[in-house]
Homo-oligomer: A and B are copies of this chain.
Amino acid sequence: MDQEQEDILKYDQGTFHPGFSVDCVIFGFHANQLRVLLLKMKGADVWALPGGFVFKDEDVEEAANRVLQLRTGLDNIFLRQFHLFGKPDRSQPDFNAKLLRQRQIPFAPNHWFLQRFITLGFYALVEYSRVTPRPDTNSEACEWWDLQQVPALMQDHRQILDKALEALRLQLAYQPIGYNLLAEKFTMPELQRLYETILGKQLDRRNFQRKILAYDILERLDERRSGVAHKAPYLYRFNLEKYQQALEQGLEGGW
């Protein structure tokens, strides 16, 4: 999709599935911190989750994928829907009208962009270093934000973000996470920091290692991370086959 087509506000009524949007919480991991990719809205002093609309004949999941691809430059991303936000008052037609005026797009009072929207939230896990953040036509910046320092967000986007984090934590309890967030090779401490950041609590170094190794989804390489201070840690990588298997089967049951 080229630049011309990307300017969503110029589309006609009838281009998109009406009253429906997708919003993506894109998680990355950098400097031992979980980060999210946010857009700075033009004119307004608020940030927003990358989102978009679904073409009339497009699969909803595919639309989310498209948004991801446009903002990060990446394809084939781990992406999962987690909640539909459907309160009638979550839309702010006045705010959207302001956007249209700012962009100097003529519009009628019944313009599709001013209707009520319900939105499906997705969360995505990406490898931070491979991402090239790219703003869309309604935003003047696209940047990573530390999860602890997220600025004021548009509409109910803060709620969406919180719910995404909750969903991510839940996933952690019964599925492996990491393949999508880390580089191909990583150390055990790096993986542990990732888990700790998502969970928001400290874990015992030795118990973590034992538990994660017991899942039998990791392969230790004969390499070590050199150049760092202190003892050089081993490098690991995921055994993709076993990783996929664990994703499907779930790690533990409870029952």
Contact = CB atoms under 8 A, between A and B. Distances in A.
A249 to B, nearest CB: 13
A131 interface: no
Main secondary structure, interface of A, reads mixed
A172 B118 contact: no
Contact of A19 (B19, B61, B173, B252): B19
A45 interface: no
A160 interface: no
Q: How many copies does the complex hold?
A: 2
Contacts of A57: 88, 116
A20 interface: yes
A111 to B, nearest CB: 15
A2 interface: no
Interface stretch (A68-76, A79-87, A231-239): A79-87
Interface residues of A, number: 32
A116 B84 contact: no
A203 B59 contact: no
A254 interface: yes
B84 A199 contact: no
Interface of A: 17-20, 54, 56-61, 81, 83-84, 86-88, 116, 118, 120, 170, 172-174, 195, 199, 203, 251-255
